[in-house]
């Protein structure tokens, strides 16, 4: 996750510029929510080698935040360094800058590779980038479309279930997980692979879940890049450029974390709920079930306890 440290810094700055100081526990909750909402999975300082969130802040972001410990018992308070200056400059900065995030494989391309269903065939249009799925022998319109101009398409070879279950076993072998906790995980990966097995595996990994996601992303990406090179496709057709304005990130963080301040929307700017609906249209069903629904449920539960 070291390559994501700049993203964490930006999210911390954006959260604390809206509300500083923040109790450490509350800040961690908000950072986790913003991290997931930005598409990077779960944030866990323990996977980075830190036993406590406070230690992570001091050692990794001491130039950005100031941690004040209470004289007696109680949670620490986290201040944004130079908060008075940043609060005055925040709007100008947010409106004129953007955050360069790592590229990610398009959702439809990702699904075409990780779904190992042997009865389903997938074809990629070399000119438009469209992905066609259909079950062989059922006369689907997608099959007719591909067969009408076969020279425009190249077939996608999905990653087999055996390979993906092998990754899960290799990952377990590489992690320092106590035997009593590793045994149930080994039972999960003892059978055939499916998306459900992967979802259960992630939930059961606990603090190791983020490490597994990064491990899996690296290997799936390697497979996709290898296939693209073999068939002569450029990365620009397979990846989405994740360049996002800090204004939209700040607004998303503010609204998702329950900021009660009144909002005004300029000409042509959609309210947050409509922005969310537009974003949902870009996601696959698997993305929604894997990322959006758990995040919304977690947010509702957290807010109900505040």
- Of 306, 279, 305, the closest CA to residue 292 belongs to 279
H helix intervals, 68-123: 83-96, 107-114
pLDDT at 131: 93
Digit-by-digit pLDDT tens for the chain (306 residues) are 456 778 888 889 888 887 778 899 889 988 888 887 777 777 888 877 888 899 999 988 888 898 988 766 678 889 888 655 444 334 333 333 344 445 678 889 999 999 988 889 999 999 999 999 999 888 889 999 999 999 999 999 999 999 999 999 999 998 888 888 899 999 999 989 988 888 899 989 988 888 898 889 889 999 999 999 999 998 888 987 544 444 444 444 444 444 434 444 444 455 666 666 666 665 666 666 666 676 666 556 545 444
* Token couple for 158: 């999905």
> Cα–Cα distances in Å, from 83 out to 79, 258, 259, 275, 289?
7, 21, 18, 29, 37
DSSP for 112-181, written as a single string: HHH---TTEEEEEETTT--EEEEETTS--HHHHHHHHSGGGEEEE-PPPHHHHHHHHHHHHHHS---HHH
Please name every residue paired with 105 in a beta bridge, in sequence order, or none if there are none: 239
φ and ψ of 67, to 5 deg: -100, 125
For the chain, the structural domain boundaries read 2-101+242-305, 107-156, 161-240
pLDDT at 7: 83
- Of 282, 244, 239, 279, the closest CA to residue 106 belongs to 239
Q: Is the peptide bond preceding residue 21 cis, with omega within 30 degrees of 0?
A: yes
DSSP for 272-290, written as a single string: HHHHHHHHHHTS-HHHIII
- Of 143, 158, 150, 146, the closest CA to residue 108 belongs to 158
The separation between the first and the last C-alpha atoms of the chain, rounded to the nearest angstrom, is 30
Question: What pTM did the predictor assign?
Answer: 0.51
pLDDT at 170: 94
């Amino acid at each position: 996750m070291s390559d994501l440290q700049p993203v964490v810094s930006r999210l911390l700055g954006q959260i604390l510029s809206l509300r500083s100081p923040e109790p450490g526990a509350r800040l961690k909750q908000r950072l986790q929510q913003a991290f997931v909402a930005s598409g990077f999975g779960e944030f866990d300082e323990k996977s980075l080698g830190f036993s406590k969130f406070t230690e992570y802040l001091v050692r990794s972001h001491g130039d950005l935040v100031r941690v004040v410990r209470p004289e007696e018992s109680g949670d620490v308070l986290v201040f944004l360094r130079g908060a008075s200056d940043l609060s005055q400059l925040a709007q100008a900065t947010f409106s004129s800058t953007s955050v360069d995030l790592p590229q990610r494989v398009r959702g439809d391309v990702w699904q075409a590779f990780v779904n190992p269903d042997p009865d389903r065939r997938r074809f990629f249009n070399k000119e438009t980038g469209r992905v066609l799925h259909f079950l062989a022998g059922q006369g689907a319109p997608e099959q007719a479309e591909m067969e009408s101009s076969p020279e425009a398409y190249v077939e996608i070879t999905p990653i087999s279930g055996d390979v993906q279950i092998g990754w899960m076993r290799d990952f377990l072998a590489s992690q320092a997980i106590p035997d009593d906790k590793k045994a149930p995980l080994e039972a999960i990966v003892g059978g055939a692979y499916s998306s459900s097995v992967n979802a259960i595996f992630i939930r059961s990994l606990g603090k190791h879940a983020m490490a597994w996601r990064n491990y899996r992303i690296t290997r799936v990406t390697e497979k996709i890049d290898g296939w693209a090179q073999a068939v002569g496709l450029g990365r620009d057709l397979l990846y989405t450029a994740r360049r996002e304005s800090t204004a939209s990130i700040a607004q998303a963080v503010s609204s998702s974390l329950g900021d009660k301040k009144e909002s005004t929307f300029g000409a042509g700017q959609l309210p947050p709920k409509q922005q969310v609906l537009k974003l949902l249209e870009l996601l696959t069903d698997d993305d929604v079930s894997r990322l959006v629904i758990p995040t919304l449920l977690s947010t509702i539960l957290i807010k109900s306890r505040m």
